[in-house]
Structure 1
Amino acid sequence: MQRTLSSALYRDPVVYGRERDAVFGAGWQFLGHENEAATPGDYLSAEVAGRSIVAVRGKDAVLRGFHNVCRHRAGPLVTDRSGQCGGELTCKYHGWRYALDGRLRSAVGFGATEGFDPREFGLFPVRLETWRGFVFANLDGAAGPLAELVAPLDGLFEDRGVAVGSATLRRSHELACNWKAYVENYLEGYHIDAVHPALAAEVETARYQVRMNGAVAVHEVPTVGGVNDGLWAWLWPNLAFNVYRHGMMMVEHMQPVGHDRTRLDYLYFYDPESADMDAVLAASDTLTHEDKVICEAVQRNLDAGVYDWGVLSPRHETAVGWFQSRVAEALS
Structure 2
Amino acid sequence: MTAIQDSVLTPTLSSRYYTDSAVFEAENERIFERQWYYVGRADDLPAPGHFLRRQVGRETVILVRGSDQTVRGFLNVCRHRGAQLCLADSGDMGKAIRCPYHAWTYGLDGKLITAPNWQAMDSLDRGQYGLHTVHVEQWEGLLWVNLAPDPAPLIDQLRPQIEARLADYAKFERYGLGGLKVGGRVEYDVAANWKLIYENFQECYHCGTIHPELVRTIPEFQSPAMGTGGYDPTGYAIADDLASFSLSGDTVLPRLPHLLPEDDRLFYGMVVRPNCFISLVSDHVVVHRFEPVAHDRTTAVCEWLFPADVVESGDYELDDAVELFSKVNEQDFDAAEWCQPNMASRAYRHGGVLVPSEQTQIGVFYQWYLSALGDET
1:220 equivalent to 2:235? Answer yes
The CA deviation string for residues 278-299 of structure 1, in whole angstroms up to 9 with x for no partner, is 1123223311221122111111
Give deviations 1:253-279, integer Å, cap 9, x for gaps. Answer: 121000110110123322324653211
Runs of 4+ in structure 1 displaced over 4 angstroms? 113-116, 159-163, 207-212
Shift of the 159–190 alpha-carbon distance from structure 1 to 2, 3 Å rule, reads: farther
C-alpha contact 1:218 1:233 (8 A) present in aligned 2: no
Equivalent residue number for residue 129 of structure 1:
137
- Where does residue 364 of structure 2 map in the other structure? 322
Which among 289, 297, 300 is matched to residue 261 of structure 1? Answer: 297
Cα deviation digits, residues 4-28 of structure 1 (max 9, x gap): 1111110000000000011111101
Q: 2:351: which partner in 1? A: 309
Flag the 1:331–1:176 CA change in 2: closer, same or farther, 3 A: same
Give the one of 272, 285, 308 matched to 1:235. Answer: 272
Where 2:30 maps in the other structure, the secondary structure is helix
Give, as a single letter, the amino acid of the residue that structure 2 aligns with 1:190. Answer: Y
Give the CA deviation at 1:218: 7.0
Aligned to 2:204: 189
- Judge conservation of contact 1:53–1:67 (CA < 8 Å) in 2: yes
Change (3 A) 1:312 1:29: same
Mapped contact 1:244–1:280 kept (Cα < 8 A): no
What's the % identity of the aligned pairs?
A: 29
Alpha-carbon distance in structure 1 between the residues aligned to 2:29 and 2:234: 28
Deviation at 1:196, TM superposition (A): 0.8
* Correspondence for 2:102 among 94, 111, 119: 94
Aligned residues of 2:205 and 2:357 also touching (Cα < 8 A): no
Partner residue of 1:331? 373
Change (3 A) 1:219 1:177: farther
Q: 1:287 aligns with which of 328, 332, 351?
A: 328
Deviations 1:128-184 (A, max 9, x none): 111122110001134321112222534332355656423454321011111111111
SS at 1:79 equivalent: coil
1:12 to 16, 20, 35: 20
Q: Is the 8 A contact 1:190 1:317 kept in 2?
A: no
Residue 244 of structure 1, CA deviation: 4.1
Conserved in 1, the CA contact under 8 Å of 2:141 and 2:178? no
Q: 1:63 Cα deviation (Å)?
A: 1.2
Cα offset for 1:80?
2.6
Q: 2:285 aligns with which of 236, 242, 249?
A: 249
The answer to whether the aligner puts 1:176 opposite 2:184 as a matched pair is no
Q: Which residue of 2 is the match for residue 276 of structure 1?
A: 317
Which structure: greater strand fraction? 1
Aligned equivalents of 1:91 and 1:190: distance in 2?
A: 51
Structure 1 residue 305, shift from structure 2 partner? 2.6
The answer as to whether partners of 2:139 and 2:178 remain within 8 angstroms in 1 is no
How many residue pairs get aligned? The number is: 327
* Counterpart code for 1:227: F
> Is the deviation greater in 248-257 or in 10-19?
248-257
Aligned CA RMSD, in angstroms, stands at 2.4
Output the CA distance in 1 between the equivalents of 2:196 and 2:206. 13
- Do the aligned partners of 1:312 and 1:318 also contact (CA within 8 Å) in 2? no
Judge conservation of contact 2:182–2:303 (CA < 8 Å) in 1. no
Answer yes or no: is 1:158 the counterpart of 2:195.
no
CA distance in 1, matches of 2:113, 2:183: 34
* One-letter code aligned to 2:358: H
How much does 1:75 deviate?
1.6
Q: Which ranges in structure 1 are unaligned for 5 or more consecutive residues?
A: none
